[in-house]
């Protein structure tokens, strides 16, 4: 099993690493985007290979990665060399109230020393290792033996698609005049081809581990570290525990369907929202991410998400609407007195973008749709108790959700995330309980009106809210500790920190299903 895991992890890290370095990404943003950029390289190279009659394998991926690296490097170099006067006004327009405005232009990029890189890796390593360990534990509990296969409806279909790719050498998501997202199957088959193996069961199970225990922790921790920068190790470890504490995602999509492609696509959502937040100035730019890099990653990432699963792009669009509203409002507030035309430009841009999003939303409408499965009260109560579908109430997460909502509402830098959370709740309610067919179809038709898919999205939107609560609780306890007469005793502080992490670990890893 280990060769399959290491090979698959390499394919979902190394192409993205090359592209990310060419785009001058660094730190946690680079780490969280590695799978996003790699999925782009794998899935799009499969499309080009089929178009030009090239058999599927490692070489198309390596070729497209090299081309993407070259194009990205040329674009970033050219903008840095000649495009300051063009990109700087655009950067100011995109991030009107950015906490670090100078960081949104390319000249803000500063070289990072090897010592800083090593420190980033060390500090980031503990939370990531903890999240991976807990996710692996859940993976083993869920999967059982490495030769186990899903007995659900689509389980055999996904194995058959991988087998078909291995037999035919054709891995494109476009075939017979239609489209089906095959980034998952492309990656699984790539594992087999790289190892000269025909065992699609081991490669599929390895891919499940990679997505649940590597891709998802990387992306979610990356966003949380940008939303809550400079937090203590205790907070970071607690956030790592939260990543693997939700029954909504990713395990829900492994128990229903199974929806492997959907799980892969949604696991890429949070790092892409982090890029959007940095671009629009909703998240403080760490001071070294050029605007050009953010725009290139946005285009590349959306292509990869679309080939992973279109539902991921629809989720991105749904969350971007409230984010765009916050951005337009901030721009209007900043320029309505000094430059009314520029202030109006924010509103016009918002209307145009929302119209474009609405067109995409309608085009993605599916004729096959599920029916509501819950009543209104039960659907909304499951939001509060963090227990969608048939899950048991998770009272600790429910308490953190309530606290986190209050913290976000009272914090200007975090308040904008309430928008994506409300959107996720509305979509979940529409799929699970809305009794009006036309409105329900309009809202969630692109998701097959499937409550399971929207429950997974709700879990993703809930994660940052609970992280806000964890951060606030720890800072509150730490202030009480330092103000006490024992506050100067280092051993007492360490004891409280260890106790807090251990208590949260025990409470969060209780079975939720």
- pLDDT surpasses 90 at 147: no
Per-residue pLDDT band at 100 (split at 50, 70, 90) = very low
- Which pLDDT score is estimated for 107? 40
Rg (the chain; Cα; Å): 23
pLDDT of 188 strictly over 80? yes
* CA pseudo-torsion sign 37, 38, 41, 44: negative
> What is the average pLDDT score of the chain?
84
How is residue 351 written in tokens?
């209307």
179 has which bridge partners?
A: 174
Q: How many CB atoms lie within 10 A of CB 398?
A: 17
Separation between Cα atoms, residue 307 and residue 182, nearest integer Å: 7
Q: Give residue-wise pLDDT tens across range 43-65.
A: 999 999 999 999 999 999 999 99
Neighbours of 483 (CB within 10 A): 8
| 437 vs 300, more confident | 300
Residue 268 near residue 250 (C-beta atoms within 8 A): no
Tokens (6 digits) for 508: 């969060």
Per-residue pLDDT, 255:
79
The percent of residues above 90 in pLDDT, for the chain, comes to 42
94-108, 177-191, 408-422, range with the lowest pLDDT: 94-108
What confidence tier does 215 reach under pLDDT thresholds 50, 70, 90?
very high
Cis geometry, peptide bond prior to residue 21 (ω within 30 degrees of 0): no
Q: Which residues contact 229 (CB under 8 A, 6 or more apart)?
A: 284, 286
Question: What average pLDDT does this structure show over 182-210?
Answer: 93
* Domain range annotation of the chain: 1-308, 310-364, 368-513
pLDDT exceeds cutoff 90 at 391: no
Tens-place pLDDT, residues 242-293: 888 888 888 888 878 789 999 999 999 999 999 999 988 888 876 667 888 8
pLDDT at 109 over 50: no
Both tokens of 507, joined, read 């409470």
Q: Once rounded to an integer, what is the mean pLDDT over residues 10-38?
A: 92
Closest CA to 244 of 211, 273, 268, 207: 211
Q: How far apart are CA 387 and CA 459, in angstroms?
A: 9
Whether the per-residue pLDDT at 490 is higher than 70: the answer is: no
- What's residue 373's pLDDT? 82
pLDDT of residue 92 exceeding 70: no
Residue position matching structure tokens 């190279």: 45
Q: Is the peptide bond before 258 cis (omega within 30 degrees of 0)?
A: yes
Whether the predicted pLDDT of 20 surpasses 80: yes
Biggest CA-to-CA distance, the chain: 75
Closest among 44, 65, 7, 62 to 196, alpha carbons compared: 7
Separation between Cα atoms, residue 216 and residue 249, nearest integer Å:
9
For 501, list phi and psi in degrees, rounded to 5. Answer: -65, -45
pLDDT tops 70 at residue 380: yes
pLDDT higher than threshold 80 for residue 473? yes
Is residue 489 scored above 60 in pLDDT? Answer: no
Percent of the chain at pLDDT > 70 equals: 84
Question: Are the C-beta atoms of residues 300 and 274 closer than 8 Å to each other?
Answer: no
Phi-psi region of 15 (alpha: psi -120 to 50; beta: other; left: phi over 0): alpha
pTM: 0.89
- Distance (Å, rounded) from C-alpha 478 to C-alpha 484? 10
Structure tokens at 318: 């749904």
Q: Helix, strand, or coil here: 327? A: helix
pLDDT at 410: 93
- More confidently predicted of 512 and 467: 467
Average pLDDT over residues 364-384: 83
**What pairs with residue 178 in β-bridges?**
175
Q: Which residues make Cβ contacts (< 8 Å) with residue 386, sequence separation at least 6?
A: 246, 247, 248, 393, 394, 397, 398, 401, 459, 462
Q: pLDDT (tens digit, 9 = 90+) per residue, 392-407? A: 778 888 899 999 999 9
How far apart (Å, rounded) are the C-alpha atoms in residues 153 and 70? Answer: 43
Q: Is 56 helix (H, G, I), strand (E, B) or coil?
A: coil
- Confidence at 502, pLDDT banded by 50, 70, 90: low
Return the closest-CA partner of residue 279 out of 228, 340, 220, 320.
320
Q: Residue 106 — pLDDT band, cuts 50, 70, 90?
A: very low
Binning pLDDT at 50, 70 and 90, where does residue 104 land?
A: very low
Beta bridge pairs of residue 175: 178
What's the token pair of residue 212? 């649940």
pLDDT value, residue 418: 95
């Amino acid at each position: 099993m280990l060769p399959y895991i290491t090979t698959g992890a390499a394919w979902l890290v190394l192409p993205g690493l090359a592209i990310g370095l060419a785009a001058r990404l660094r730190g946690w943003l680079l780490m969280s985007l590695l799978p996003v950029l790699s999925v782009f390289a794998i899935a799009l190279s499969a499309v080009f290979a089929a178009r030009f009659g090239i058999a599927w394998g490692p070489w198309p991926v390596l070729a497209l990665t090299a081309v993407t690296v070259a194009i990205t490097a040329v674009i970033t170099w050219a903008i840095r060399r000649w495009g300051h006067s063009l990109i700087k006004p655009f950067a100011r327009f995109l991030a009107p109230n950015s906490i670090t405005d100078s960081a949104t232009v390319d000249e803000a990029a500063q070289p990072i020393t090897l010592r800083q890189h090593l420190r980033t890796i060390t500090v980031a390593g503990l939370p990531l290792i903890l999240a991976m360990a807990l996710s692996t534990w859940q993976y083993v509990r869920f999967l059982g033996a490495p030769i186990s296969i899903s007995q659900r409806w689509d389980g055999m279909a996904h194995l058959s698609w991988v087998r078909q790719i291995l037999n035919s050498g054709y891995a494109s998501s476009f075939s017979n005049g239609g489209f089906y997202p095959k980034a998952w199957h492309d990656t699984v088959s790539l594992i087999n081809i790289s190892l000269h193996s025909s065992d699609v069961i081991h490669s599929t199970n390895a891919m499940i581990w990679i997505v649940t225990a590597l891709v998802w922790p990387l992306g979610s921790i990356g966003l949380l570290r940008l939303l809550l920068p400079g937090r203590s190790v205790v907070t970071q470890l607690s956030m790592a525990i939260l990543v693997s504490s939700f029954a909504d995602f990713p395990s829900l999509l492994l128990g229903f369907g199974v929806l492997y492609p959907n799980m892969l696509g949604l696991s890429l959502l949070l790092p892409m929202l982090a890029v959007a937040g940095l671009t629009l100035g909703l998240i403080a730019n760490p001071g070294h991410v050029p605007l050009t890099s953010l725009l290139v990653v946005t285009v590349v990432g959306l292509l990869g998400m679309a080939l992973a699963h279109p539902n991921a792009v629809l989720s991105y669009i749904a969350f971007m609407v409230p984010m765009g509203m916050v951005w337009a409002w901030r721009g209007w507030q900043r320029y309505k007195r000094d430059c009314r035309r520029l202030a109006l430009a924010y509103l016009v841009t918002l209307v145009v973008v929302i119209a474009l999003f609405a067109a995409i939303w309608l085009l993605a409408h599916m004729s096959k749709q599920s029916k509501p499965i819950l009543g209104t009260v039960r659907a909304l109560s499951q939001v509060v108790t963090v227990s969608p579908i048939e899950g048991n109430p998770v009272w600790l997460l429910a308490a953190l959700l309530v606290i986190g909502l209050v913290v976000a509402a009272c914090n200007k830098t975090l308040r904008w995330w309430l928008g994506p959370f409300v959107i996720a709740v509305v979509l979940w309610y529409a799929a699970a309980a809305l009794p009006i067919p036309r409105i329900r179809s309009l809202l969630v038709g692109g998701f097959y009106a499937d409550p399971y898919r929207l429950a997974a999205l709700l879990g993703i939107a809930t994660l940052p809210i609970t992280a806000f609560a964890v951060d606030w609780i720890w800072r509150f306890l730490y202030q009480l500790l330092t103000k006490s007469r024992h506050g100067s005793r280092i051993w007492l502080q360490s004891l409280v920190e260890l106790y807090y992490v251990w208590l949260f670990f025990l409470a969060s890893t209780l079975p939720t299903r």
